[in-house]
Structure 1
Amino acid sequence: MIGYLFERTTGRHVTRLPRDILQRHDPSSFALWLTSQCWGAYVALLVEGLHLRVYPDPSGLLPVYRSEIAEGQACTSDLTLLNSHCSPKPRVSWHDLASHLQRPDWRDQRTCLAGIEELPAGQMTSWTNEGATSVAVWHATQFMPDKETQAFDELAVELRNTAQRVMRAWGSVSGRLLVSASGGVDSSLIAAALATVGQDFACLTIATGDPSGDERVPVRMLANALGVECFEACYTPERVDLAAPVSLGLARPSGKAFMQEVRRHAIKAAGRSGASAVVDGNGGDNLFCYLHSAAPILDRWRSEGLSHGAAATYLDMCRIAQTTVPAMARALSMRARRGSRPAAWAADRRLLASDVPDFGTPEVIADLAQAVPLTHPGKIDHLTLLLRTQNFIHSASGPADPLQFSPLMSQPLLELCLSIPTWIWCHGGINRALARAAFAQELPAAVVRRVSKAGPDSVMRVIFAHNRTLIRDMLLGGLLRANGLLDAAAIEQAIASDPHGKEPTIYRLLDLVEAEAWARSWQP
Structure 2
Amino acid sequence: MGEFLIVGRGPGQKDQVALRNDLRDRAAGEGFALMDLNIHTWLAVRGPHPPRTLRVADWILIGDVFDRWRPTIPTVPTGDPLAYERKLMSRLWGRYVGIQFHADHSLRAILRDPSGALECVAWEQDDLTIVCSSVQDWLIHRLRPGWRIEPDRVAAALRDPIPATGRLMLVGPTALEPSTLQPLPLDQQAEVLWSPIEHARRSLGPEPSVQEAAATVRSALDETVRGLAGLPGRSAAEVSGGLDSSIIAASLVHAGARPSLWLNAFGPTPESDERTYVDALARKLSIKPTSVPHATAPMTTAWLEGLSPDFRPGLNAMDLPHDLDWADRLGKAGVNSLFTGKGGDSVLFNRATSDVFIDVWRRSRREALTSADTFELAASNEVSLWTLIARARDHARTGTTCPRRSHPMLPPLPGPSPLHPWTRGWDAFGPAKAMHIASLADNVARHGPSALSRTVDLRNPLCAQPVIEACLALPTSVLTTGGRERGLARLTFADRLPPEIVDRRSKGDMTKIYGRMILEGLDVLRPWLLEGRLAALGVIDRAEAEAGLTREALVWHGRYSTIMVAAAFESWVRSWEKRLAA
2:471 is the alignment partner of 1:412: no
Aligned residue among 217, 228, 236 for 1:178: 236
Residue in structure 1 matched with residue 162 of structure 2 by the alignment: 105
State the shift of 1:353 in Å.
Answer: 4.8
Give the secondary structure class of the aligned counterpart of 1:328: helix
Amino acid of the structure 1 residue aligned with 2:486: R
State the shift of 1:494 in Å.
Answer: 1.9
2:62 is the alignment partner of 1:2: yes
Deviations for 1:377-405, whole angstroms, at most 9, x for unmatched residues?
Answer: 75323212323443344479997121224
Matched-pair contact (CA < 8 Å) for 2:97–2:110: yes
Q: TM-score, normalised by structure 2?
A: 0.78
Matched-pair contact (CA < 8 Å) for 1:62–1:396: no
Distance 1:258 1:230, change over 3 A: farther
Unaligned runs of 5+ in 2: 1-60, 72-78
Aligned residue among 112, 115, 125 for 2:182: 125
Give the secondary structure class of the aligned counterpart of 1:67: strand
Alignment of structure 1 residues 97-496 onto 2, 5 Å: 97-128=154-185, 131-143=187-199, 144-145=202-203, 147-201=205-259, 202-245=261-304, 247-255=307-315, 259-304=319-364, 306-307=366-367, 310-338=370-398, 341-353=399-411, 357=414, 360-362=417-419, 364=421, 367-369=424-426, 372=428, 378-394=432-448, 400-496=454-550
Aligned positions, number: 504
State the shift of 1:160 in Å.
Answer: 1.5
Give the secondary structure class of the aligned counterpart of 1:2: strand
Distance 1:135 1:365, change over 3 A: closer
Residue in structure 2 matched with residue 21 of structure 1 by the alignment: none
Distance 1:314 1:2, change over 3 A: same
Distance 1:461 1:62, change over 3 A: same
Aligned residue among 126, 134, 139 for 1:78: 134
Matched-pair contact (CA < 8 Å) for 2:109–2:183: yes
State the shift of 1:433 in Å.
Answer: 1.0
Deviations for 1:444-491, whole angstroms, at most 9, x for unmatched residues?
Answer: 111112233132222222222332222222222222222222322222
Give the secondary structure class of the aligned counterpart of 1:6: strand
Deviations for 1:406-446, whole angstroms, at most 9, x for unmatched residues?
Answer: 22111111111011111111211211111112221121111
Distance 1:510 1:244, change over 3 A: same
Matched-pair contact (CA < 8 Å) for 2:314–2:449: no
Give the secondary structure class of the aligned counterpart of 1:59: coil
Deviates more, 1:289-298 or 1:29-38: 289-298
Give the secondary structure class of the aligned counterpart of 2:136: helix
In structure 1, how many angstroms separate the alpha carbons of the residues matched to 2:368 and 2:315?
45
Residue in structure 1 matched with residue 121 of structure 2 by the alignment: 65
In structure 2, how many angstroms separate the alpha carbons of the residues matched to 1:396 and 1:483?
27
Deviations for 1:30-80, whole angstroms, at most 9, x for unmatched residues?
Answer: 322321211101111122445611110111112211234333432211122
Matched-pair contact (CA < 8 Å) for 1:208–1:235: yes
Matched-pair contact (CA < 8 Å) for 1:481–1:488: yes
Residue in structure 2 matched with residue 521 of structure 1 by the alignment: 575
Deviations for 1:357-390, whole angstroms, at most 9, x for unmatched residues?
Answer: 45524263663226x47xx675323212323443
Residue in structure 2 matched with residue 19 of structure 1 by the alignment: none
Give the secondary structure class of the aligned counterpart of 1:145: helix
Give the secondary structure class of the aligned counterpart of 2:552: coil
In structure 1, how many angstroms separate the alpha carbons of the residues matched to 2:262 and 2:452?
23
Residue in structure 1 matched with residue 19 of structure 2 by the alignment: none
Deviates more, 1:316-325 or 1:165-174: 316-325
Give the secondary structure class of the aligned counterpart of 2:482: helix
Distance 1:498 1:226, change over 3 A: farther
Distance 1:380 1:349, change over 3 A: same
Give the secondary structure class of the aligned counterpart of 1:481: helix
State the shift of 1:28 in Å.
Answer: 2.1
Deviations for 1:195-244, whole angstroms, at most 9, x for unmatched residues?
Answer: 10011223322222222322222123223321223122223432544532
In structure 1, how many angstroms separate the alpha carbons of the residues matched to 2:546 and 2:407?
16
Give the secondary structure class of the aligned counterpart of 2:231: helix
Distance 1:6 1:437, change over 3 A: same
Give the secondary structure class of the aligned counterpart of 1:322: coil
In structure 2, how many angstroms separate the alpha carbons of the residues matched to 1:365 and 1:34?
20
In structure 2, how many angstroms separate the alpha carbons of the residues matched to 1:393 and 1:257?
10
Deviations for 1:169-220, whole angstroms, at most 9, x for unmatched residues?
Answer: 0011143332233222211111111110011223322222222322222123
In structure 2, how many angstroms separate the alpha carbons of the residues matched to 1:455 and 1:83?
40
Give the secondary structure class of the aligned counterpart of 2:253: helix
Deviates more, 1:317-326 or 1:306-315: 306-315
Distance 1:183 1:360, change over 3 A: same
In structure 2, how many angstroms separate the alpha carbons of the residues matched to 1:389 and 1:399?
16
In structure 1, how many angstroms separate the alpha carbons of the residues matched to 2:450 and 2:132?
13
Deviates more, 1:316-325 or 1:156-165: 316-325
Distance 1:126 1:300, change over 3 A: same
State the shift of 1:499 in Å.
Answer: 8.4
Alignment of structure 1 residues 17-28 onto 2, 5 Å: 28=82
Give aligned-pair identity as a percent. 23
Q: TM-score, normalised by structure 1?
A: 0.86
Deviates more, 1:199-208 or 1:436-445: 199-208
State the shift of 1:277 in Å.
Answer: 1.0
Matched-pair contact (CA < 8 Å) for 2:324–2:452: no
Matched-pair contact (CA < 8 Å) for 2:547–2:553: no
CA RMSD of aligned residues (A): 3.1
Amino acid of the structure 2 residue aligned with 1:61: A
